Each structure stands twice: as structure tokens, then as C-alpha cells.
Structure 1
Amino acid sequence: MKKWIPIIIILGLVLLAGAWFASVNNKLVPMEENVASQWANVESSYQRRADLIPNIVNTAKGYAEFEQETLVQVTEARSKATSIQIDPTNITPQQLEQFQQAQSGLTSALSRLLAVFERYPDLKANENFKELINELERTENRINVERNRYNEVARDFNSEIRLFPTNMAAGILGFDAKAYYEAEEGSENAPDVEFDFGEE
């Protein structure tokens, strides 16, 4: 019987280790899915913005004298921004930076477009246009909310996989830290864009 004791102890330790790894895995998988789900919400908000742009551009095209070059720049920036896809299960800082740069290009083009609108009183007075711009503002706010929520769930996940003893299993199980959505350099300065539609 004594010769079986070491084998029983080893088997017991293996079973305990297996149960612990399973427990860690079962805790981290839902957290990682939460990060992926929240990233999908970020992308959905950006997609909503991209979907509004054709309507804004088409409304502006109705005004013959409106600068076509500005409309082309917005359309091209939209195309570039919607072409960047990120795998939510493997969000790297490089992918996030590329995504953010494309979205920033679109934001910049939209800012120029809105600045140009100020020179067209008839367009600014157009009810359809005003509603589109209001919807764009609401969407921009939603984007900010979703990015912040993404960072919160990414922080929770990243903290969990770094805590001892979870960190010992996380690497073996293939759980890697998620990148954060960070503000761009200079973003603390507000853009010089006004949403003044004038008096009706």
C-alpha cells in the first residue's frame, strides 16, 4: 500500500492543478468575451457615423456651388476608415493605432466639411441637414462613451491576467493583454468647429 501513496499524491496534485486551470480559464473566457463584445459596440458606433456621412454629403450636393473637393475628401476618408478591421480577440496596440488614425482622418475631414457649411446659410437652414448634424453629434458622443467602456473592460481583463496566481495560468492558457484606446496627441485641444445654425 505504501508504494501507491506517492502515485495517489501525484494524481491528486495533477487533479487539483487541472481543476485550478479550468477555474482560471472559466473566469477569463467571459471576461475576454466582454472585451470583444464591447469592442463590437465601439465599431458599431463608428459604423453609425460612417452611415450618416453619405446622407450629409448628398444633402450638401444639392447646393450646386458647394465645394466638391471637400465632399470628395470626406467620402475618401470614410472609405479608408471603414476599410480597417480589427480582430476583437487579438487587439494589438498597432492595430488600434491604425484604426484610430483612419478614424481621425475621417474626423478631420468632417471638421473641414462642417467649417465649410458655415458659409452656406441656405444649407444651414435646411431641416434635413440640421437633423443629420444633430445625429452626427449624438453619434460622436456615443463613440466616446463606447470607447471609455471598452477601456474599462479591457482594464478589468488586463488586471485579472496580471494578478498572482492567475498570471501563472493566463500565459499558459493563451490569454494576452488587450490594447487600450488612447487619446491622440493634441486631442486635449478642442477643434475650431462651430455648430451655429443661425436664427430661423
Structure 2
Amino acid sequence: MKKIFLIIISSIFILTFIFGLWTVNIYNHLIELNENIKTQWGQVENVYQRRSDLIPNLVNTVKGSANFEKNTLNQVIKARSKATSFSINPNDLNQNKINQFQKAQEYLNNSVSRLLLIVENYPDIKSTQNFYELQNQLEGTENRINVERNRFNDQVNNFNSYRNQFPKSIIANFFTQFKEKGYFQSSIGSEKSPIVDFSN
């Protein structure tokens, strides 16, 4: 009787120990995946900041043309201010926050695109070396933004896929830092091909 009791107690202890190791392993892997997302989010913010830092130089270059539309420049300045004032806590990268961040960045992107389109009508601005270099740097930064956003989405996918597997989701739900993370998504209407019309 005493031997059976010791076997039962030992079995319970061994199972508890194994369960504890398994839980610690899952927790540590969730921490690693979560830190990867934070690191990648830092890269995303870094390239957006690079674009934001280039914009004042672009605006000042265009301002040099006295007859340029001031309203467009003011819109770009306002959009940059709005985009740089919005930040997200890396510990709270939920879908709603990512969407808000993305919306602020798209507003800035649209304003800069509008500025570049209008500049096409001003050959004296367009032909300056400074403007040309800034435009190339902006294009390169937009490519970097796309790459870093894709890498961020990959990290989020790795995390969400792992944390949503059963029974790992039970452990993940005990800790607030392991909530499901949000993705960058394509802009509304981006699935439609742009219409190119040279008839005008």
C-alpha cells in the first residue's frame, strides 16, 4: 500500500515537472517571437522616420520656386506632422493600432505623391540636382518601407501562428504581452490596377 502511494506521488511529481518544463519552453519561445516583432517594428519605424526626415529638405527645395502652390506645401507639412506625432507602444501592436499608424503614413504618402505630381509642371524645380537627389532618396526609402513592412508581417505571422496553436494558446492567453499582433494591410483600392490614359 505504501509502495503504491509512493509510485502515485512520484508519478504526479514527474508529470508536474514535465508539464512545468513544457510550459516554460512555450513561454520562452513566445518571448523570443515577441521580441523579434518588437525588433522588426523598430526597423519599420526607422525607415518611416528616414522618409519623414527627407520631407523637410524636399519642401525647402520646392519652396525656392516663388510661384509654387503654397497650399500643397502646407498639406505636406501638416501630413508629416500628423504622421510623426503618431506612435505605437511596441508592446501593444494590435490590428487597430497598426491600422491607425498605417492611415497616418498613407496620408503623408499621398501628400508627397501629390507634391511630386505637381512639380512635374515646374521644370525649373524638377531639373535641380538637389530635387533630383531627394526624389531618388524618397523612392529608395519607399522601397525600404515596403521591405521592412513585409518582414514585420512575416514576424507577426510566425508569432500569431505559434501562439494560436492548441494548447499553446491556453498558455499565451494567461499573459497580456502575448495577445495576437496586427498586420500591415494593403490600402483600400490597391487591388485595382491604375488606369493609364495617354489620350489627353
Per the normalisation by structure 1, the TM-score is 0.90
What is the distance in 1 between the residues matched to 2:24 and 2:128? 60
For residues 65 and 185 of structure 1, the distance between their equivalents in structure 2, rounded to whole angstroms, comes to: 34
Does the CA-based 8 Å contact 1:91-1:178 persist in structure 2?
yes
Which AA in structure 2 matches 1:187?
S
Cα distance per residue 1:114-133 (max 9 Å; x no partner): 11101111100000100000
Equivalent positions of 1:173-188 (< 5 A) are 173-174=175-176, 175-188=178-191
Offset, 1:184: 1.4
User: Whole-Å Cα distance in 2 between the matches of residues 173 and 125 of structure 1?
Assistant: 56
Alignment of 1:98-109 (within 5 A): 98-109=100-111
Helix, strand or coil for the counterpart of 1:49? helix
Q: Alpha carbons of 1:189 and 1:74: their partners in 2 closer, same or farther (altered >3 Å)? A: farther
Structure 1 alignment gaps of length 5 or more: 194-200
Partner of 2:146: 144
Change (3 A) 1:59 1:189: farther
Change (3 A) 1:138 1:191: farther
Letter aligned with residue 125 of structure 1: S
Match of 2:40 in 1: 38
CA distance in 2, matches of 1:191, 1:111: 15
The aligned runs of 1:1-200 (5 Å cut-off) are 1-2=2-3, 3-174=5-176, 175-189=178-192
| Counterpart Cα distance in 1 of 2:190 and 2:105 | 13
RMSD: 1.8
Q: CA deviation at 1:190?
A: 6.2
Instruction: Please identify, of 24-33 and 5-14, the stretch whose mean Cα deviation from structure 2 is larger.
Output: 5-14
1:25·1:173 contact (CA, 8 Å) conserved in 2?
Answer: no
Alpha-carbon distance in structure 1 between the residues aligned to 2:192 and 2:131: 27
Aligned residues: 193
In structure 1, distance between residues paired with 2:18 and 2:150: 38
Deviation at 1:12, TM superposition (A): 2.1
Distance in 1 separating the partners of 2:19 and 2:103: 44
Q: Distance in 2 between matches of 1:192 and 1:52?
A: 29
- The CA deviation at 1:30 is 1.0
| CA 96–24 in structure 1, closer or farther in 2 if over 3 Å, else same | same
SS of match in other structure, 1:172 = coil
CA drift of 1:8 comes to 2.6
Deviation per residue, 1:172-195 (Å, 9 max, x gap): 2442211111011112346789xx
Aligned-partner Cα distance in 2 for 1:190–1:120? 28
Q: Give the CA deviation at 1:110.
A: 0.6
Q: CA deviation at 1:154?
A: 0.6
Deviations 1:114-163 (A, max 9, x none): 11101111100000100000000000011011111111111011111122
Sequence identity percentage? 48
- Give the stretch that moved more between structures: 158-167 or 21-30: 158-167
* Structure-2 change in CA distance of 1:191 and 1:83 (3 Å): farther
Structure 1 stretches of at least 4 aligned residues deviating more than 4 Å after TM superposition: 189-193
